[in-house]
Amino acid sequence: MKKRFLTVLTVAIMAVAFTSCKDKAKEVETSEAEATTETTDVSTKYKVDTEGSTIMWTGHKPTGSHNGTISIESGVMTMNNDALESGTFLINMNSINVMDMPVEDEGHAKLTGHLKSPDFFDVEQFPSSAFEITGIETVDGKTMLSGNLKMKDVSNNITIPVTVNQNGDTLAITSETFTIDRSKWNVKYGSKSFFDNLKDKYINDDIELKINVTATKA
């Protein structure tokens, strides 16, 4: 009986591990920051609609996960005919919001404050993050957008799969859900990349993100 129980328990653990790996969004390529793309004389300028744009995030730990949003502060992109050419936008780190807990819940304010503290994103010292486009190419039928993501005092180049839709005077860029390794931007709290002997008190380095940007012709 004991042997059967252990076998069932092992299968259950393997099933959970397999599901977690299967459901996890792919980590993006990360490299050193690169030169940004240039705007040409024939390009068309689009201004980011901050009310219609957002970044969704999910963070994981052994006991569960939290998710929320971050607002885009401002941004400009350009199109050359039907092709996305260049762009940059600022991310308002003070706008970090937790969505999986009621606002009136004591834990909501506690978690939000902790994410804004020097333990994580230190928004008092680094109130804005930024993304600057460095290249666009098609790989296996997908549009791959590369850009320098700056958080805190670190800039890394990432490449993410996106869909670009141009409809009249409106431009929309939507990414697939992707993962970044926060340790590469010196976000250290509870990270096994920086601390030993955390046991089950660690927080995963992986942060899942999904970006939705809407812009209108300037």
Q: What is the pLDDT of residue 111?
A: 96
Instruction: Determine the 3-state secondary structure of 144 from DSSP.
Output: strand
Domain that holds residue 118: 28-217
Q: What is the pLDDT of residue 38?
A: 78
Q: What is the CATH number of the domain that holds 91?
A: 2.40.128.110
Distance (Å, whole) CA 30 – CA 141: 21
Q: What is the pLDDT of residue 23?
A: 59
Q: What is the pLDDT of residue 7?
A: 41
98: in domain: yes
10 Å CB burial of residue 149 (0-12, 13-18, 19+) is buried
58: in domain: yes
3: in domain: no
Buried b (16+ CB within 10 A) or exposed e, 114-137: ebbeeebbbbeeebebbbbbbebe
Q: What is the mean pLDDT of each run of 10 residues along the chain (218 residues)?
A: 42 38 69 85 91 96 93 95 92 97 95 96 97 94 95 96 94 96 95 89 94 96
56: in domain: yes
22: in domain: no
1: in domain: no
Q: What is the pLDDT of residue 130?
A: 97
pTM reported for the whole predicted model? 0.85
Q: What is the pLDDT of residue 10?
A: 40
Domains held by the chain: number: 1
Q: What is the pLDDT of residue 27?
A: 84
126: in domain: yes
20: in domain: no
Q: What is the pLDDT of residue 19?
A: 37
